[in-house]
Chains A and B, each alone.
Chain A
Amino acid sequence: EAQVTQNPRYLITVTGKKLTVTCSQNMNHEYMSWYRQDPGLGLRQIYYSMNVEVTDKGDVPEGYKVSRKEKRNFPLILESPSPNQTSLYFCASSRLAAYEEQYFGPGTRLTVT
């Protein structure tokens, strides 16, 4: 089954404790991205990747890091999480670029206290 998976689905952590949210897709897609969703603000893009070893900042990259060492994986790293990063995070992928149909993962709800 073609899908995007994320782990963990739920995470509660404390300020400053490094964390990684994993994202994997099995569709051989070139393009992957991370979004955060906050009430009233919709989905905002954090980082995206056009291909292996190629990543670019989205609209709200501050406080986040990503890597793309393999085509299928695109982890999101919070080196020192803060409460304002409490949000619902979605990973997405598309065949070649953002302007194509994007497939979203199930989401990761992160709470930073």
Chain B
Amino acid sequence: GQQVMQIPQYQHVQEGEDFTTYCNSSTTLSNIQWYKQRPGGHPVFLIQLVKSGEVKKQKRLTFQFGEAKKNSSLHITATQTTDVGTYFCAGPLSGDMRFGAGTRLTVKP
């Protein structure tokens, strides 16, 4: 079936290092959303990308939507301990919302 795949599943970095998570869809997406879930918390919306090739920035976070609208990435520059959590991408597929499995980020101080 139609899926949203996300890699890597885990990423452990030293504070100050960069981090990237990648999201791929089996079909073209009308839009893609990114969420962050802190340990023990609930997903919180970060951003939505709609246009082909779109790039958006939020402070140290950079989000990209691929030209074919089938892939996306989230890049964090100079990670901080506050960035710890699981990052999910999500897109509408087959009438419902499909989430990637998430990338769990841990940051060593």
Contacts and interface: CB of A to CB of B under 8 A. Distances in A.
A pairs with B: yes
Nearest to B91: A99
Contacts of A102: 33, 35, 43, 45, 97
A107 interface: yes
B64 to A, nearest CB: 18
Given A41-B101, A42-B6, A43-B88, A103 B96 contact: no
A101 B33 contact: yes
Interface of B is mostly: strand
15 contacts: A42-B99, A43-B90, A45-B96, A45-B99, A48-B96, A90-B42, A92-B43, A98-B96, A99-B30, A99-B31, A99-B33, A99-B48, A101-B33, A102-B43, A105-B42
A42 B99 CA distance: 6
B44 interface: yes
Interface residues of A, number: 25
Interface string A87-107: 000101000001111111111
Interface of A: 33, 35, 40-45, 48, 56-59, 90, 92, 98-107
Please classify how large the interface on chain B is, using the bins under 10, 10 to 19, 20 to 34, 35 or more: 20 to 34
Interface in B33-48: 33, 35, 41-45, 48
B96 A58 contact: yes
B109 interface: no
Given A42-B6, A99-B30, 6 more contacts: A43-B43, A57-B96, A92-B43, A101-B33, A101-B48, A104-B42
B102 A107 contact: no
A90 B86 CA distance: 15
